Amino acid sequence: MPSFFEALSTNPLLLAALFAGLAASVVSGIIGSYVVVKRIVFIGGSISHAVLSGIGFCIWLERAKGVTWADPLLGALVAAILSALIIGWIHLNYRQREDSAIAAIWSIGMAVGILFISQTPGFNVELTNFLIGNILWVSKTDLYILAALDIGIILLILCLHKRLLAICFDEEQARLQGLPVHSLYLLLLILIAVSIVLLIQVVGIVLVMTMLTIPAAIANLMTTSLSRMMIFAILISSSFCLSVNYAAYYLDWPTGATIALIAGVVYVLSLIFLRTRRAVSKPVAS
C-alpha cells in the first residue's frame, strides 16, 4: 500500500476529501462558535434532522417521478432554511413553548423524509451517504460551493460580528442599542442552516452536530474571547480532519464516524484535564 502522502498525489478523491474537510472546518469553526456561545445546539440539531424531509422528497421526485432537476442537496437546503425560519419565528413569538416546538419540527422533518424514502423504489446509496457521510463522495462542484461559502461567511462575519456578538450574549441590551435583533437572529439561524447542509456532505446528518459544536466547545475551554474561539475552533477542526483522514486511510474506517469519535474523545479528555488542572491549582485550606 502506498503511503498516505503518496496517495494524495495520485488519488484525486482523497485529495478532494482533504480539501473538503479543511473547507468545512472554516464553516464549522465560525458558525459553531456562535451556536455554542448562544447555546442553541438543540436548534442546530433540529435543523440538521429536518433536512431529511427535503432530501427524501427530492430523491422521491427524481427516482419515482423522473424529475431530473430535483437535487437532494437543493431539497436539503430549502428544508434547512425553512425549518430555521420556522424555529426563529417560534423563538421570537412563543418562547415559553420553544423546546416542544423545536422537538416537533425535528420529528416532523425526519418523519416526512422517511415517508418519501419508503415510497422510493430501490436501495439508495446516495441517501446512505447523506445519512452517515462519505467525504470521498465530494465532487469538484462541492468544493467550489464550500469555498464560496467560506468566503461569504468570512466577509459577512467581518461586517456583522459585533452585532451578532451582541445578540449572542444579551438580546435585551442589543435591543436597547437599537439593533435589529429579530433580523439578526433569523440571519444567524439561516447561516447555521446553510452550514449544516454543506457539512452533511462531510460527516452526514447523523454526525453533523459533532463537527459543528465539538471543536467550538473545545475552543471555548481555551479562551473567553469569541474571536479567538473561532480561530481555535477552525484549527482544532482542521487538525481533526487531517489526522482522521490519515488514520482512516490505513485503518479503512469511515471518515465521518472517525471524526465524530476522535472529536468526542478529545472533548471528554479536555474536560477531565481542565477539571484536574483546577483541582491541582486550587489552594488547600489550612
Does residue 286 lie within any of the structural domains? no
Q: Is 110 helix (H, G, I), strand (E, B) or coil?
A: helix
Q: How confident is the model at residue 285 (pLDDT cuts 50, 70, 90)?
A: very low
* Single-letter residue type at 85: L
User: Measured on CA atoms in the order 162, 163, 168, 171, is the torsion positive or negative?
Assistant: positive
Share of the chain above pLDDT 90, in %: 22
**How far, rounded to the nearest angstrom, does the alpha carbon of residue 55 sit from its chain's CA centroid?**
16
Cα 102 to Cα 96, 113, 218: the distances in Å are 12, 17, 26
User: pLDDT confidence of 14, banded at 50, 70, 90?
Assistant: confident
| pLDDT band (50, 70, 90) for residue 9 | confident
pLDDT band at 180 (very low <50, low <70, confident <90, very high): very high
pLDDT at 113 over 50: yes
Q: Where are the beta strands (DSSP E) in the chain?
A: none
pLDDT at 284 over 70: no
The pLDDT assigned to 10 comes to 80
Burial class for 275, CB neighbours closer than 10 Å (0-12, 13-18, 19+): exposed
- The alpha carbon of residue 276 and the mean position of all alpha carbons in its chain are separated, in whole angstroms, by 30
Domain ranges, residue 56: 4-281
Cα–Cα distance measured from residue 167 to residue 268, given in angstroms and rounded to the nearest whole number: 29
How far is residue 286's CA from residue 58's CA, in Å, rounded to a whole number?
Answer: 68
Q: Cell 464516524, residue?
A: 257
Q: Let me know: does 190 contact 77? Beta carbons within 8 Å.
A: no
Higher pLDDT residue, 11 or 164?
A: 164
User: CATH number, domain at 235?
Assistant: 1.10.3470.10
Closest CA to 136 of 229, 201, 43: 201
Confidence band for 286, pLDDT divided at 50, 70 and 90: very low
Long-range contacts, 88-94 (Cβ 8 Å, 24+): 88/185, 88/186, 88/189, 91/43, 91/185, 92/182, 92/185
> Looking at beta carbons, which pairs linking 89-94 to residues 24 or more positions away fall under 8 Å?
91/43, 91/185, 92/182, 92/185
47 part of a folded domain: yes
284 DSSP assignment: P
Q: Is residue 226 a part of any domain in this protein?
A: yes
What pLDDT score was predicted for residue 255? 77
Whole-angstrom Cα distance, residue 23 to residue 270?
Answer: 25
pLDDT score for 139 = 74
How much is the pTM? Answer: 0.87
pLDDT at 97: 65
Q: Which of 8-12, 96-100, 181-185 has the highest mean pLDDT?
A: 181-185
For every residue of 113-152, DSSP letters joined together read: HHHHHHTS-S--HHHHHHHH--GGG--HHHHHHHHHHHHH
pLDDT at 124: 64
Q: Would you say residue 280 has pLDDT above 90?
A: no
What are 138-167's pLDDT values in tens digits?
A: 777 778 877 887 888 889 888 998 899 988
* Nearest-angstrom CA–CA distance, 248 and 100: 39
- The count of domains in the chain is 1
* Residue 254's pLDDT band (cuts 50, 70, 90): confident
DSSP 35: H
